[in-house]
Amino acid sequence: MRVMAGVRRDLPALVAWAAVAVVALQFPTPVRAVLVVAASAWAPGAALAWLLESADRLERAVLTVALSLGVATLVAVVLSLIHVMTGLHALAVLAVLSTVAVTFRELRV
* pLDDT, averaged in runs of 10, over the chain (109 residues): 70 94 92 93 90 81 93 96 95 96 81
For residue 88, what pLDDT is reported? 95
pTM more than 0.75? yes
DSSP 28-64: -HHHHHHHHHHHHHTHHHHHHGGG-----HHHHHHHH
Looking at residue 51, its pLDDT comes to 75
The C-alpha atoms of residue 8 and residue 62 are separated, in whole angstroms, by: 19
| Model pLDDT, residue 54 | 73
Cβ-Cβ contacts under 8 Å for 10 (sequence gap 6 or more): 102
**Cα dist from 38 to 68, 95, 108, whole Å:** 10, 11, 25
pLDDT at 55: 73
Question: What pLDDT is recorded for position 106?
Answer: 77
Q: Give the per-residue pLDDT at 56.
A: 85
pLDDT at 22: 95
Angle at 105 between CA 34 and CA 92, to 5 degrees: 40
Q: Does residue 14 contact residue 96 with C-beta atoms inside 8 Å? A: no
The count of domains in the chain is: 1
* Domain that includes residue 94, residue range: 2-108
